[in-house]
Amino acid sequence: MLKINLLPAYVYERRRVRKAAIGFSLLFVAVVFGMLAWWAVLNSKQKGLQAQVTDMEMKAQEVARLEQEAQAEESRMPVIQAKVAFIEGLKEYNLQIPKLYEELAKYTYSRVLYRSVQPSGSQLTIEAHARTLGDCGRYLMNLYRATHLFSSVAISGVPGWPSGGGGGVSELPSGFSFQVTCALVQQIAPPTYGGAGAGTPGGGMPAGGAPGAGPPPGPVSP
């Protein structure tokens, strides 16, 4: 059967134009949706990067704060070290004088009485009383043996002793008073703030006698 198309050509042309318009519209919509999706992805990435930047900035501020605190603590270290050194020096100083008295007692003749014992820096001054010259001589010999304590020993105020003068010593009916000046082997001085103290750090008076010396003498009979 033969079909004859009697419709004019422009009718088919309109159909093609309509189909093309629909196709371009769909393509435009797809492009628009694609661009919107791409923009949404970029916006999400931008927000993520901004969050990372904000987090890094906060961490950088925290690092800067910690560095400032560390610098502040470091600046305090010399002061703290000075206080620690001063306290350690003070503890050592508080032990030196009792140790000196303990060692002095080992070399003190029992028949000599002390009126005062005064350490001062590198010197020890003793005000003492003896009943006889023999007691005083034995006492002095004992002090000469304490070479780990004293580098020199000088005595004054003994009647008839060739030492150059009495220096205001009073005579007593039962004996006489005299003065002994000893140069300390180790200086004793209180520490100053800053940890600097006189004498050898960590020193102190030796607990034993001088090397090679015998035991501290006991009471000597007159």
Q: Which of 42-46, 156-160, 192-196, 217-221 has the lowest mean pLDDT?
A: 217-221
- Provide the residue type at 179 as one letter: Q
- Provide the residue type at 35 as one letter: M
Question: What is the residue-averaged pLDDT of the chain?
Answer: 77
Q: Where is 159: in which H helix or E strand?
A: none
pLDDT score at 8? 63
pTM as predicted: 0.49
Give the tens place of pLDDT for each residue, 152-168: 999 998 876 554 333 33
Band the pLDDT of 121: cuts 50, 70, 90: confident
Band the pLDDT of 100: cuts 50, 70, 90: very high
User: Residue 190 half-sphere exposure, CB side, CA atoms within 13 Å?
Assistant: 2
pLDDT score at 33? 84
Q: Count CB-CB contacts under 10 A for residue 70.
A: 10
Q: Phi/psi of residue 88, each to 5°?
A: -65, -40
Paired with 127 in beta bridges are 116, 179
Rounded distance, CA 152 to CA 144, Å?
8
- Provide the residue type at 208 as one letter: G
For residues 156-178, b (16+ Cβ closer than 10 Å) or e, as one string? bbbeebeeeebeebeeeeebbbb
Domains detected in the chain: 93-188 (3.30.1360)
